[in-house]
Amino acid sequence: MDLLRNIFKGDKVIWIIFLFLCTISVIEVFSASSTLTYRSGNHWGPITRHALFLLGGAAVVWLFHNIHYKWFQVFPVFLLPVAAVFLVLLLVFDNLNLGGILVIERTNEASRWVKFCGIPFQPSEFAKMGVIIATAYILSNKQDEQGAAPKAFKYILILAGLMCALIMPENYSTAMLLAVVVYLMMFVGRVQLKKLLLLGGGAIAVLALFITFLLSTPNEDLKKIPGGGRFTTWKDRIMDFANHKQVPAAQFDINGGDRQVACARIAVASSNIVGIGPGNSVQRDFLSQAYSDFIYAIIIEELGLVGGAFVLFLYICLLVRVWRIANQCDRTFPAFLVLGIGLLLATQAMFNMMVAVGLAPVTGQPLPLISRGGTSTIINCAYIGILLSVSRYTAALKEQKEREAQALAAAEALPADSLPADSEAQTSEEPHAKALNSDAEFV
């Protein structure tokens, strides 16, 4: 038992949520990977790869939750430049092969993947982590009694705006997700409300103009613009989403552009309270991204409304637990850090689930810790490790305060004439001195 306590340090509820999400992931990805199995001819290949990534992710969780939260402040120093370099390469090159060391390949009309020394990864995932940590640091470093200093808003706007601009040409949904999370972090970080309202209103106006431009411009003209292939993709997704609100699922063209959304709707509609059982999905054979973008639809089909509600409940519990950890912090950086990560995971999960049930246009965002992935799985596990690291700090802080309270109560219970002359002053100053050095208590 002591061995398990030493391994699973930190918030036990977050550990339980992580284990539940990984278990659901293994079961559902194994079931939803039928198209990959058919193409490769290897029944165990897709799930073996995913299981290995989850095991590697579990090792990352253990590693990160043993790192003091202060060290995470230096991560953006190397994450953001590296991510920026690769994102620029994605913008410049459609295909690139430098002796197999660096390879860029276009997939699904977007150059989202880079292979470095044979290891594929998404630079946008590193950019997201770097921006979230950097935003937490800026907000914590620029706090005063009135809230965040004006410079905090300017620095965050420049940093997040630059990274979102680099991500957007290849992955609009990821850029929008990051922008939304940073905006929420600034709201929690007490950035002046007037500035946030102006920024939000301006962003909505720009988005409305962009959508109007897409819908009013013929596809032939859009394709002439650099990166116009992505413009036409998003135009089709927006129009499909608007049309699907008026077209019954039975009338979808499942052999055309409606196939993904139609099959997802069929999967949800054919479910019931308890589902048709794990491994019995029918629509997994027709959904090309059943194991990633639309895995929530497969979860509902196989596990029913109960299973779908349980997955939603896990993400809500994670967000509530993150809020509790933030409230227990006596410093602003770890509080903003865990809130940013919690908002990122919860918002991304919400986007994925809304797409699966037809409440939002197709975005291509995976379900955190459940969808099949490589870079995203490892990075999401790193997020969980960071949450656990901060929870360990707050737990040590709570124990320290309890010891101080017990020591103070014991000192007050002693007769006054039994204490040395300077003991009273020493007792009153000791808690404050320990609080200033509370980071040293984190083990």
- pLDDT of residue 167 exceeding 70, the answer is yes
Distance from C-alpha of 403 to C-alpha of 49, rounded to nearest angstrom: 47
Residue 336, strand partner residues:
none
Q: How confident is the model at residue 313 (pLDDT cuts 50, 70, 90)?
A: very high
What is the chain's mean pLDDT, rounded? 81
Whether the CB-CB separation of 111 and 166 falls below 8 Å is answered with no
Q: In the prediction, which pLDDT does 101 show?
A: 74
Whether the CB-CB separation of 95 and 104 falls below 8 Å is answered with yes
Q: What's the whole-model pTM score?
A: 0.85
The total of other beta-carbon atoms located within 10 Å of residue 81's CB is: 11
- pLDDT of residue 252 exceeding 80, the answer is no
List the single range of 18-27, 108-117, 133-142 with lowest mean pLDDT: 108-117
Q: What is the pLDDT of residues 66-92, one digit of tens each?
A: 999 999 999 999 999 999 988 888 887
DSSP-based three-state secondary structure for 242: helix
Distance from C-alpha of 109 to C-alpha of 355, rounded to nearest angstrom: 20
Mean pLDDT of 230-248: 67
Please give the residue that has the higher pLDDT: either 286 or 353. Answer: 353
Q: In the prediction, which pLDDT does 432 show?
A: 41
Please give the residue that has the higher pLDDT: either 48 or 131. Answer: 131
E-assigned strand segments in 40-164:
96-98, 102-107, 110-116, 119-121, 143-144, 147-148
Helix H or strand E encompassing 106:
strand 102-107
The residue with tokens 């390469």 is 89
- Report which DSSP code applies to 439: G
Rounded percentage of the chain residues whose pLDDT exceeds 90: 33
Mean pLDDT of 359-371: 85
Q: How confident is the model at residue 438 (pLDDT cuts 50, 70, 90)?
A: very low
Single out the residue of 309, 379, 369 nearest to residue 19, CA to CA.
369
Q: In the prediction, which pLDDT does 437 show?
A: 42
Mean pLDDT of 99-110: 65
Measuring CA to CA, how many Å separate 197 from each of 190, 192, 201, 204?
13, 9, 6, 11
Mean pLDDT of 160-170: 88
